[in-house]
Amino acid sequence: MSVFKTRLDNGLTVLLKEVHTAPVASFWIWYRVGSGREHLGITGISHWVEHMLFKGTPRWPKGTADKAISREGGMWNGATWYDFTTYYATLPADKIELELSIEADRMTGALFEPEEVESERTVIISERQGAENDPLFLLGEEVMAASFRVHPYGHETLGHMCDLEGMTREDLYSYYRSYYVPNNAVAVAVGDFRSEEMLERIREHFGSIPPRELPRTHRPAEPPQHGERRVVLEGEGYTAYLTLVFHAPPATDPDFYPLVVLDSVLTGASGMTIFGGGGTNKSSRLYRALVDTELAAQVSGSLIPTVDPFVYSLTATVRAGRTPQEVEERLWVELERAMAEPITEEELGKAIKQAKAQFAYSSESVTGQAFWLGWSEVFADYLWFEQYLDRLGAVTLEEVRRVAEKYLRRSNATVGWYVPNEQ
């Protein structure tokens, strides 16, 4: 079935796709707001607002909505990232209206009770402290801060600790009321329903929510980087890590597709399910160069589609007895090779076949399909996802070399080492 797209009078974008293979349906509401809009002082606010939407409305007091969903056998959650905040539930198809009513209700009705805000402050601080236990989180935070000195993509979605300690209930509530409006949202339903009926239901629940003018936001442009940046982080543990990030184009840039192919050749296929996946990468160039040679224990790459220019990142776990410097030197040899000579026809064919397989896997669940439709609508347009395989199929060998040369330059890199204090 194809995707049906429309927009309600209040500006709510609606995407519907019928899938009748299992008696289930997934409903998502996406807000075009995330940590990529935050400024110093309120970093982490998008994520905290997401938490507060689970703390009750007059109609669904705290603890009642999650239990109602569970009672029907559903799973639900929320997520916040650079470009979006999203809420979803997947339910038996005949119960999906429950999620529509919950989402319509909390688009405007979340209470943000002061004592709940305070209780959630410590939960979020705990979430951040848990993340800080992981050296890779700490290194990633430092490297991104060095890579972006202007754009808010440079701070973690969790936010800075000082902002988590300092933000007020008023900060949170006004942010919520500013961005949680139908004209800033995308509703997605995928599953076992009839589109006309689903559209009618969505209209019933969301149609009467008035639109509002969005705050005039200025999206800062990251100035070009001229020269390599380096970060060395010392910390506990026995294990060293290496991360390199390169400024990269946004999802809608034509260069994005050859970069997807390049990433696939360097570090293997990326999973297209919500929770990662993608299998092994033991035949990729960087695995052969770093892990097969016993310099690293693992290596991975990440290219994320975003609204504004983001980064392409490479991360390696340094093998016991080796140093980040040794891994980095060998890594540059491979990157320079990718810049100097085109990849082979076989490598290109493999990257495309891998993408085709990952695409098929991601379409197995209605949750996965709804996730991709919504996310791609947020950073581009749902057609981005629909045309993904065709676009990859059109990539040429020379384009891959050209984007390697353009983005993998040393002067575009921020290099981070995590150096453990125990041997």
Partner 1 sequence: MSIPGPEDIVRRELPNGIVVLVRENHASPSVVVSGYLQVGSYDEADEQAGLASFVASALSRGTARRSFDQIYEEVESVGASFGVSAGIHHTSFGAKSLAEDLPLIMDVLADVLRNPVFPPQEVEKLRGEILTDLEERAHDTRRMAALVFRELAYPKGHPYSRSSAGYIETVSRISRDDLVSFYQNSYGPQGMVVAIVGAVTAEEAVAQVEAVFGDWKGAVPTRASLPPAPRPQEIVHKFVPIAGKTQADIVLGYPGPARTDPAFLDAMVCNTILGVFGMMGRLGDRVRDEQGLAYYSYSRIEGGPGPGPWTAIAGVNPTNVEKALESIRAEIRRISQEPVGLDELADTQAFLVGSLPIRLETNEGVARAILEMELYDLGLDYLQRYEGLIREITPERVLAAARAWLDPDAYALAIAGPPTGNE
- Tell which one of 44, 74, 154, 159 touches partner 1 (CB under 8 A): 74
Q: How far apart are CA 140 and CA 231, in angstroms?
A: 10
Nearer to partner 1, 123 or 340 (CB): 123
Stretch of 1-9, 212-220, 245-253, 315-323 lying at the interface with partner 1 (CB under 8 A): 315-323
CA distances from 325 to 100, 232, 241, 416, 417 (A): 53, 11, 10, 10, 8
For the segment 274-303, give every residue that binds partner 1 (CB under 8 A).
277-284, 288, 291-292, 294, 297-298
Q: How far is the CB of 355 from partner 1 (least distance, A)?
A: 7
Stretch of 195-203, 216-224, 313-321, 391-399 lying at the interface with partner 1 (CB under 8 A): 313-321
Q: How far is the CB of 132 from partner 1 (least distance, A)?
A: 5
For the segment 246-275, give every residue that binds partner 1 (CB under 8 A).
268-269
Q: Does residue 197 interact with partner 1 by CB under 8 A?
A: no
Nearer to partner 1, 110 or 307 (CB): 110
- Tell which one of 46, 243, 358, 414 touches partner 1 (CB under 8 A): 358
Nearer to partner 1, 356 or 409 (CB): 356
For the segment 107-136, give every residue that binds partner 1 (CB under 8 A).
118-127, 129-130, 132-135
For the segment 5-44, give every residue that binds partner 1 (CB under 8 A).
21-24
Tokens at 198, concatenated: 């689903």
For residue 137, give the nearest of 57, 233, 206 by alpha carbon.
Answer: 233
For the segment 225-244, give every residue that binds partner 1 (CB under 8 A).
235-239
Q: Does residue 80 interact with partner 1 by CB under 8 A?
A: no
- Tell which one of 357, 389, 397, 419 touches partner 1 (CB under 8 A): 357
Q: How far is the CB of 205 from partner 1 (least distance, A)?
A: 22
Q: Does residue 142 interact with partner 1 by CB under 8 A?
A: no
